[in-house]
């Protein structure tokens, strides 16, 4: 297992997955090109994110109207939703720890929907803040 460390958080990346840094996000994908995780980090200057703020952000920025479920990923907690659109299956998380919010998406071709779900969940459950 490789540990990917950003300025604010870490995540364990299995050997059969790759990771790359984009300008404002981190991309993590499986070597079989089934799907890709994208993680963006936001910071609050007014203190910790609370459940109401996470809910409002999720509802305002999500591409779809979703039924949100509470979720915990490692040391982060927040909301999770999923949908299909055209030929894609998309999973989306808004999770926070203190004043840090992670916006995470996983997308794959519709025919591959569910194939990497367990691996993605296991990978995201290793998220830990550095501070």
8 A C-beta contact, residue 43 and residue 50: no
8 A C-beta contact, residue 28 and residue 123: yes
SS3 breakdown of the chain: % helix, strand, coil, rounded to 5?
15, 50, 35
**Residue in the structure block whose two tokens are 């490789």:** 2
Q: Which of 8-17, 42-51, 56-65, 111-120 has the lowest mean pLDDT?
A: 56-65
- Looking at the structure of the chain, the number of domains it has is 1
Read off the DSSP letter of residue 14: -
CATH number, domain at 49? 3.40.1000.10
Residue 33 binned pLDDT confidence (cut-offs 50, 70, 90): confident
Is 44 contained in some domain?
Answer: yes
Is 81 contained in some domain?
Answer: yes
Which domain range does residue 118 map to? 22-129
Q: Structure pTM? A: 0.94
Is 103 contained in some domain?
Answer: yes
Is 115 contained in some domain?
Answer: yes
Is 13 contained in some domain?
Answer: no
8 A C-beta contact, residue 127 and residue 74: yes
């Amino acid at each position: 297992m490789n540990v990917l460390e950003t300025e604010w958080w870490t995540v364990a990346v299995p050997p059969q997955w790759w990771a790359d840094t984009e300008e404002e996000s981190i991309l993590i994908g499986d070597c079989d090109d089934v799907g890709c995780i994208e993680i963006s980090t936001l910071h609050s200057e007014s203190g910790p994110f609370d459940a109401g703020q996470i809910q409002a952000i999720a509802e305002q920025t999500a591409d779809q109207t979703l039924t949100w479920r509470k979720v915990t990923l490692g040391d982060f907690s927040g909301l999770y939703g999923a949908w299909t659109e055209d030929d894609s299956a998309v999973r989306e998380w808004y999770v926070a720890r203190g004043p840090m919010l992670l916006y995470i998406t996983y997308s794959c071709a519709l025919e591959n929907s569910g194939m990497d779900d367990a691996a993605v969940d296991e990978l995201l459950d290793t998220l830990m803040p550095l501070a």
